[in-house]
């Protein structure tokens, strides 16, 4: 049968017409076999078969310059640029990132939850050579692999790459009815079927990301982040990602993961038609798994927390912060669970300190990380931590490198147990390691900065150390100012003696010392306890027989003499005067408004209640106040629960957790001269000594007693000190010792 010889005409552009002519060896329409009819480029049938071959092998890709698709040809520089970025031999070799395709679901899986997108073809990579268009869509880790090969008869994906299946160790079995470029099952050892291909569990293969052991063509042991489907058939998927909520259908049932799950275990085998969800063991960053492993719950701090507690009362509390967050330090607030809040490094101050290597703020008391035991507030300078505040019952040492057991009130630091080294800023340190609000509470002590220092032995109180710095004197002595024009301090001299310095009678007694009450010269009168000519000072309005009966304004009358409230001894009697009379008593009593006389407190009191002379409010040097009984007791005497100290003549009762008497000096060759005012006259020397702490009771040989400075002290009977039995506390060695 003969073919009709008629021209074949093609609708080609000028560029395409010339290209075709060149390929056929013709110069163009003006040469044989090539012509134009009605706007078409034409050839006769002698060149037809050659044209068909050229179209198949050469011209189709060359003329298109792009990709054949859906019956047409698309340029990668124009229309096809949204789909394909590289064309070769008429096929797309490089697809645009995450271009959606209309392929069947092949179970694309990712090592990261946010990349677990199915039916998505990513940029075609080298391993996708010979992969069918739109089938380079198996995402494992960071790489994409092939799910279907273009050479459907002889090749299929082996470890994600198209290979000949004949005699391949994977044992890839094509579909029995018709090969389609995929594996229907895998019979090779340690291979499993996944996304149309056979994958090895060898460590250097992509399948290892999903599965670590396989048998009979199914995954039997999944890699962390996946689970193996129980009793899975070898003709389908056998491994599921822990966060794959779509799951894998096995027969009429579905196995799936938990949203946001990072690691899991497989559910039990499905026995009825139902969905089986994995048991989640851990969640992705910022989530924690509930108690039954069925759901991942977001941490309390949704912005900064990476890992948080899954159980207990602090459930959801952070245990690790996101490294990408500006608040990437975990400030531990619960030491038992090591949980807390995510903060910036600069916020690791006060009660915590930062450790950069751990990205954590540890409590100041964490000794394992360089903290200080019992420390509640600290400061970090460089790599050095110092303690500012210790737990109750403890104080920092002076170097702030340790917390020392110390219950002393108002103490800032202790270098030895219950021996204060420095006091709070508004308190003063005693020689025995206690803290007082005023040094004169101790008697003859003055404040040197925040430390109480002993006055010169001659003084009852002083402004500073040294002779001539006395502010008041002990009983039997009176103060003589260094400068009468500037009455601040002076020396202590002998008290008034009859006939001396023009005094006829020494009848005024103030603070245990005698002052002149009548002068031998009838024209003189006592001024501040010493005879003075009225004409020179004009302090008295009426002088009668060497004594004043009416003082001028600026003075007050007391026992025949005029006294100033700004000088000793008058200031210890009266604080305010008016019209030659006292209007406010220094001892706390209420002044007699008619006479201006201050009633006397009990002789043992320095000051007392306004209406109760026997209720002491403060005591003279050598005495301490029992605030419960409101009486003044000698330092060597015991009162109620407060134990006195033998030989002590200067002391103070302190408020703390213990009943304390602080011995500050002791008698040396003492003598006494008991007076009506109850003040003893003593010659003494200063000796810095220790405190007595009344601690828990004990019993020896049936005798009751207490521990004092870790030594047993008996209230009655005998007590043991070292190797010697002593009869009473007063037979012991002196307790006025320097603390060691």
Q: How many other C-beta atoms are found inside a 10 Å radius of the C-beta of residue 5?
A: 8
Distance CA 158, CA 139 (A): 15
408-428 confidence digits (pLDDT tens): 999 999 999 989 999 999 999
- pLDDT of residue 58 exceeding 60, the answer is no
211 closest CA partner among 162, 266, 157: 266
Task: Please answer whether residues 524 and 534 qualify as being in contact, where contact means their C-beta atoms are separated by less than 8 angstroms.
Answer: yes
Question: What are the boundaries of each domain within the chain?
Answer: 8-64, 97-283, 438-494, 501-599, 619-740
Q: How many other C-beta atoms are found inside a 10 Å radius of the C-beta of residue 203?
A: 7
Per-residue pLDDT band at 443 (split at 50, 70, 90): confident
519 closest CA partner among 501, 535, 537: 501
C-alpha distances out from residue 397 to 425, 587, 713, Å: 16, 40, 30
Burial class (CB in 10 A: 0-12, 13-18, 19+), 621: buried
Mean pLDDT for 439-463 is 88
Mean pLDDT for 660-679 is 39
Mean pLDDT for 158-170 is 94
Pairing verdict, β 724-726 and 719-721: antiparallel
- 41-50, 273-282, 503-512: which has the minimum mean pLDDT? 41-50
DSSP E strand boundaries for 89-217: 91-95, 99-100, 120-121, 138-140, 143-145, 155-158, 161-164, 172-173, 185-186, 191-194, 197-200, 211-215
Highest mean pLDDT among 37-46, 197-206, 431-440, 466-475: 197-206
Per-residue pLDDT band at 176 (split at 50, 70, 90): confident
Helix (H) or strand (E) run with residue 49 in it: helix 48-54
Mean pLDDT for 150-166 is 94
Structure tokens at 123: 């940029």
CA-derived radius of gyration, the chain: 53
**What is the distance, to the nearest Å, from the Cα of residue 697 to the centroid of all Cα atoms in its chain?**
41
Can you give the pLDDT at residue 273?
52
Per-residue pLDDT band at 44 (split at 50, 70, 90): low
- pLDDT of residue 39 exceeding 50, the answer is no
Higher pLDDT, 247 or 30: 247
Can you give the pLDDT at residue 271?
52
- 178-192, 382-396, 438-452: which has the minimum mean pLDDT? 438-452
Structure tokens at 683: 């010659």
Q: What percent of the chain has pLDDT over 90?
A: 50
Helix (H) or strand (E) run with residue 54 in it: helix 48-54
Can you give the pLDDT at residue 51?
52
Q: Rounded mean pLDDT of the chain?
A: 76
- pLDDT of residue 445 exceeding 80, the answer is yes
569 preceded by cis ω (within 30°)? Answer: yes
Q: What percent of the chain has pLDDT over 70?
A: 70
Pairing verdict, β 329-334 and 360-363: parallel
Residues contacting residue 594 through CB under 8 Å, at least 6 positions apart:
none
- pLDDT of residue 719 exceeding 60, the answer is no
679-690 confidence digits (pLDDT tens): 333 222 333 333
Our CA dihedral for 172, 158, 207, 138, rounded to 10 degrees, sits at: -110
Higher pLDDT, 76 or 313: 313
Per-residue pLDDT band at 26 (split at 50, 70, 90): very low
Can you give the pLDDT at residue 329?
98
Residue burial 182-200, b: 16+ Cβ < 10 Å; e: rest: bbbbbebebbbbbbbbbbb
Can you give the pLDDT at residue 606?
81
452-458 long-range contacts, CB within 8 A, separation 24+: 452/428, 454/664, 454/665, 454/686, 454/688, 457/684, 457/685, 457/686, 458/491, 458/492
Residues contacting residue 112 through CB under 8 Å, at least 6 positions apart:
none
Per-residue pLDDT band at 270 (split at 50, 70, 90): low
Per-residue pLDDT band at 40 (split at 50, 70, 90): very low
Per-residue pLDDT band at 210 (split at 50, 70, 90): very high
Question: Which residue(s) pair with 276 in the sheet?
Answer: 255
132-150 confidence digits (pLDDT tens): 999 999 999 989 999 999 9
- pLDDT of residue 553 exceeding 70, the answer is yes
- pLDDT of residue 4 exceeding 80, the answer is no
Burial class (CB in 10 A: 0-12, 13-18, 19+), 131: buried
- The structure tokens 């009450």 sit at 517
């Amino acid at each position: 049968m003969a073919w009709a010889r008629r021209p074949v005409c093609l609708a080609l552009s000028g560029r395409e017409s010339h290209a075709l002519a060149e390929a056929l060896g013709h110069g163009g329409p003006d040469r044989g076999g090539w012509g134009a009819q009605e706007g078409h480029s034409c050839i006769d049938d002698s060149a037809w078969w050659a044209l068909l071959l050229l179209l198949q092998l050469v011209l189709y890709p060359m003329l298109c310059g792009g990709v054949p698709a859906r019956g047409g040809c698309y340029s990668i520089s124009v229309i096809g640029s949204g789909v394909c970025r590289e064309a070769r031999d008429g096929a797309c070799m490089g697809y645009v990132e995450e271009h959606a395709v209309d392929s069947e679901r092949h179970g694309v899986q990712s090592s990261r939850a946010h990349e677990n997108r199915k039916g998505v073809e990513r940029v075609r990579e080298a391993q996708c050579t010979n992969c069918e268009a739109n089938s380079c869509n198996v995402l494992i880790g960071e790489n994409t692999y092939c799910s279907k090969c273009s050479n459907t008869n002889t090749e299929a994906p082996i470890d994600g790459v198209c290979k000949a299946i004949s005699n391949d160790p994977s044992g890839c079995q094509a579909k029995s009815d018709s090969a389609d470029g995929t594996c229907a099952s895998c019979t090779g050892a340690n291979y499993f079927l996944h996304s149309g291909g056979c994958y090895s569990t060898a460590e250097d293969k992509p399948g290892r990301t999903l599965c670590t052991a396989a048998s009979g063509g199914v995954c039997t042991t999944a890699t962390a982040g996946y689970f193996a489907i129980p009793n899975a058939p070898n003709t389908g998927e056998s491994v599921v990602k822990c966060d794959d909520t779509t799951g894998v259908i096995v027969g009429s049932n579905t196995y799936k993961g938990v949203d946001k799950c990072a690691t899991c275990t497989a559910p039990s085998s499905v026995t009825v038609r139902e969905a089986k969800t994995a048991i989640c063991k851990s969640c992705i960053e910022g989530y924690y798994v509930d108690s039954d492993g069925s759901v991942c719950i977001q941490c309390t701090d949704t912005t900064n927390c990476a890992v948080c507690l899954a159980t207990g009362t602090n459930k959801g509390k952070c245990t690790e912060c996101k490294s990408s967050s500006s608040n990437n330090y975990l400030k531990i607030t619960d030491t038992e669970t090591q949980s807390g809040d995510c903060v910036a490094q600069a916020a690791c101050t006060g009660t915590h300190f930062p450790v950069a290597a751990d990205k954590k703020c540890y409590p100041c008391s964490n000794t394992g990380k360089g903290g200080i035991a019992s420390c509640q507030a600290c400061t970090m300078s460089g790599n050095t931590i110092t303690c500012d505040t210790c737990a109750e019952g403890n104080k920092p040492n002076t170097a702030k490198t340790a917390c020392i057991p110390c219950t002393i009130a108002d103490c800032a630091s202790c270098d030895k147990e219950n021996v204060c080294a420095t006091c709070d800023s508004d308190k003063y340190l005693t020689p025995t390691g206690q803290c007082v609000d005023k040094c004169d509470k101790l008697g003859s002590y003055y404040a040197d900065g925040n430390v109480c220092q002993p006055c010169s032995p001659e003084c009852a109180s002083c402004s500073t150390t040294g002779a001539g710095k006395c502010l008041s004197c002990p009983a039997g002595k009176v103060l003589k100012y260094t400068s009468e024009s500037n009455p601040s301090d002076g020396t202590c001299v002998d008290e008034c003696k009859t006939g001396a310095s023009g005094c006829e009678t020494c009848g005024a007694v103030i603070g245990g010392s005698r002052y002149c009450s009548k002068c031998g010269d009838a024209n003189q009168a006592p001024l501040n306890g010493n005879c003075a000519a009225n004409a020179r000072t004009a302090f008295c309005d009426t002088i009668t027989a060497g004594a004043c009966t009416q003082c001028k304004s600026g003075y007050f009358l007391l026992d025949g003499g005029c006294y100033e409230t700004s000088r000793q001894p008058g200031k210890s009697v009266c604080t305010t005067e008016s019209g030659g009379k006292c209007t406010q008593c220094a001892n706390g009593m209420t002044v007699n408004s008619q006479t201006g006389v201050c009633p006397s407190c009990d002789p043992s009191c320095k000051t007392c209640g306004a209406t109760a002379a026997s209720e002491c409010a403060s005591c003279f040097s050598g005495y301490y106040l029992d605030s419960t009984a409101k009486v003044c007791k000698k330092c060597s005497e015991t009162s109620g629960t407060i134990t006195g100290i033998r030989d002590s003549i200067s002391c103070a009762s302190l408020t703390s957790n213990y009943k304390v008497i602080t011995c500050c000096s002791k008698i040396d060759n003492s003598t006494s001269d008991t007076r009506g005012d109850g003040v003893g006259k003593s010659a003494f020397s200063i000796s810095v000594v220790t405190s007595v702490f009344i601690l828990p009771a004990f019993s020896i040989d049936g005798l009751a007693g207490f521990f004092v400075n870790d030594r047993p002290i008996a209230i009655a009977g005998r007590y043991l000190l070292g190797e010697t039995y002593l009869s009473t506390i007063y037979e012991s060695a002196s307790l006025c010792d320097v603390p060691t």
